[in-house]
Amino acid sequence: MKDVTVNNYAAMEGQVRTRDNNTFTVKPVVASQDANQCSIAFIEVDPGNYAFGYHYHEMNEEAFYIISGQGIVRTPDGEISVKAGDMITFPTGPKGAHVMRNSSETEKLIFIDFDTHNVPEIVHFPDMNKVMVIGPHGRGTYDEN
């Protein structure tokens, strides 16, 4: 880490992200600019919505810890039901492709997203046939082919 930091989840203002009438909130408690090797965010997903879209990473692993609610994780091998207290890990490459959807009709899904932080990074979005390239000085999204 670059400096000792203390961030309180409840006091943080969330970053609302919207795409295709889908909304979720990101609260980065350890942002990539605060640490050299990782980033950590609380993710809040309203009923019926999903977070980030179906994707996989070339360089960075992810792990989710479910704090409250219930969800469905889509993977290349099918769907996995998760609930509060569950931890799920995603390796790099196509085998680690995933998207988390809130499967509740009434309760918000809240989970912690732990990510390694390796740059440059390439993120594939198979459903959209897009790829995101992340470098130390910028990022861009391009057609996969």
Instruction: Say whether pLDDT at 72 is over 80.
Output: yes
Residue % of the chain over a pLDDT of 70: 99
DSSP character at residue 53: E
What CATH class has 13-143? mainly beta
**Extents of the domains making up the chain:** 13-143
Structure tokens at 130: 């897009």
Residue 84 DSSP code = T
88-117 tens-digit pLDDT:
999 999 999 999 999 999 999 999 999 999
The answer on pLDDT for 1 being more than 70 is no
- Order the strands of the 22-30 sheet from edge to edge: 15-19, 22-30, 38-45, 109-116, 62-68, 87-90
Greatest Cα-to-Cα distance within the chain, rounded to the nearest angstrom = 43
Mean pLDDT of the chain: 93
When pLDDT is cut at 50, 70 and 90, the band that residue 140 belongs to is very high
Question: Mean of the pLDDT values across residues 30-49?
Answer: 88
C-alpha to C-alpha distance for 104 and 34, rounded to whole angstroms: 33
Residues in the chain: 145
Give yes or no for a contact between 120 and 135, defined as CB atoms under 8 angstroms apart: yes
Of 3-7, 18-22, 114-118, the least confident: 3-7
What pLDDT does 11 receive? 87
93, 8 in Cβ contact below 8 A? no
Query: Cβ of 95: how many Cβ atoms within 10 Å?
Result: 12
pLDDT at position 125 over 90: yes
Structure tokens at 141: 């999204």
